[in-house]
Amino acid sequence: MAKSKEKLKSRQLRRKGESIKKIANSLGVSPSSVSFWVKDIRLTQKQIETLRKRQTDPFYGKRLDYYLKKKKEFEKKILFLKNKGVKEIGSLSKRDTLLVGIALYWGEGFKKDHQVGLASSDVNISRFFVYWLKEVFDISHKDLILRVTANISYRNRINKLEKFWSKALAIPLNQFSKPYFQKSVWKKQYENKNDYHGVLRIKVKKSVDLLRKIFGYIEGLSLNIGN
């Protein structure tokens, strides 16, 4: 005998535009039974289009559940690897700090100037550079000159940019020289203007001898390549 309740519910759901497969899953019956029960029901063109879109929608039904499951697994893996990396780094010795700083300077530091210096828009790189100077070479904040470079479109916010860097590095504003503005038209726009802080240039006063020594450190690192 036909399952009258399931048949009635199937017909109700089909008239609303539900798919055969979804109806079968929700009622716990076979798709063939549902297909037989609703074979005389004609779907509207709009309902047909909706079903077609669902077939290719990666975020519909079980496909969404699968996506969310995989996303959760991926995020969990990222967090695990991140924490593993943090643990493996551990605490840096003074020599570790020296070598990390030299590698950073090799890539990002000023080479054609007569002062030790570095420019970056990354807060943590800038903070590490200041820390490296203090920890390895005993260079205090008072020996530094800072300058913010920003696009001309941020001219009216330059005070906020300087205050941001001053707070991030714990260096007073009176050690900042006159900011520099890029005159070119900048097409990039940040959705949140607070995400843009410009580029901070950090220089060490009277540091030509230290610069030469750093060049020696860099050459020392390069001599270890392939050894």
Burial readout 93-106 (b: 16 or more C-beta within 10 A, e: otherwise): eeeeebbebbebbb
By CB atoms closer than 10 A (0-12, 13-18, 19+), residue 158 is middle
Do 116 and 203 lie in one domain? The reply is yes
Do 162 and 72 lie in one domain? The reply is no
**Residue range of the domain that includes 74:** 59-90
**Confidence (pLDDT) at 1:** 45
User: Sorting pLDDT into bands at 50, 70 and 90, what band is 200?
Assistant: very high
Identify the CA nearest to 7 among candidates 39, 33, 42: 33
pLDDT digits (tens, 9 = 90+) for 94-112: 999 999 999 999 999 999 8
**Domain's final residue, options 42, 71, 90:** 90
Identify the CA nearest to 120 among candidates 131, 109, 112, 111: 109
**Confidence (pLDDT) at 171:** 96
Do 83 and 109 lie in one domain? The reply is no
Do 110 and 187 lie in one domain? The reply is yes
User: Sorting pLDDT into bands at 50, 70 and 90, what band is 25?
Assistant: confident
**Confidence (pLDDT) at 197:** 92
Do 110 and 203 lie in one domain? The reply is yes
pLDDT digits (tens, 9 = 90+) for 33-64: 888 888 888 888 888 887 787 777 666 666 66
What pTM was computed for the model?
0.69
User: Sorting pLDDT into bands at 50, 70 and 90, what band is 186?
Assistant: low
Do 110 and 86 lie in one domain? The reply is no
Residue 39 has phi, psi (to 5 degrees) of: -60, -20
Do 197 and 162 lie in one domain? The reply is yes
Dist. CA 128–CA 216, nearest whole Å? 21
Do 215 and 132 lie in one domain? The reply is yes
pLDDT digits (tens, 9 = 90+) for 59-80: 666 666 777 888 899 999 999 9
* 41, 12 Cβ separation under 8 angstroms: no
* 11, 41 Cβ separation under 8 angstroms: yes
Looking at the structure of the chain, the number of domains it has is 3
**Confidence (pLDDT) at 192:** 61
Do 129 and 22 lie in one domain? The reply is no
Do 76 and 107 lie in one domain? The reply is no
Do 146 and 44 lie in one domain? The reply is no
Do 67 and 117 lie in one domain? The reply is no
**Confidence (pLDDT) at 103:** 96
